[in-house]
Amino acid sequence: MTERIFLLLERHQRLDSLLRIAQSRRFADPYKIASLKKRKARIRDRLVRQTPPVAGLPGL
C-alpha cells in the first residue's frame, strides 16, 4: 500500500466518523451531511483510481 493510498484511506475514515456524528445529532444539518457525503465520495473515487485492479473481483 502506497503512502498516498494510506492517506486517502485515513481521510475517508475520518469523514466517515464525522458523517456518523453529524447524522446522529438530534437536529442534523442536511447541508453539512450532504457536504460530508460528497467529500467522502470524491475520496472514494480517488481511491478506486489509485488502487490496482484485483484479479477475480468485480470493479467497484
Which tens digit of pLDDT belongs to each residue from 1-58?
789 999 999 999 999 999 999 999 999 999 999 999 999 999 999 999 988 777 666 6
Query: Can you give the pLDDT at residue 52?
Result: 76
Question: Which residue segment(s) compose the domain that 43 sits in?
Answer: 3-50
Task: Determine, yes or no, domain membership for 24.
Answer: yes
Domains held by the chain: number: 1
**2 grid coordinates:** 502506497
- Per-residue pLDDT, 51: 80
pLDDT at 56 (0 to 100): 65
- Reply yes or no on whether the pLDDT at 60 is more than 80: no
In a domain, 58, yes or no: no
Phi, psi of 52 (to 5 degrees): -70, 150
In a domain, 60, yes or no: no
The answer to whether position 59 is within a domain reads no
How far is CA 4 from its chain centroid?
14
Q: Is 57 part of any domain?
A: no
Type of residue numbered 45: D
Measured over the CA atoms of residue 25, residue 14, residue 43 and residue 47, the dihedral's sign is negative
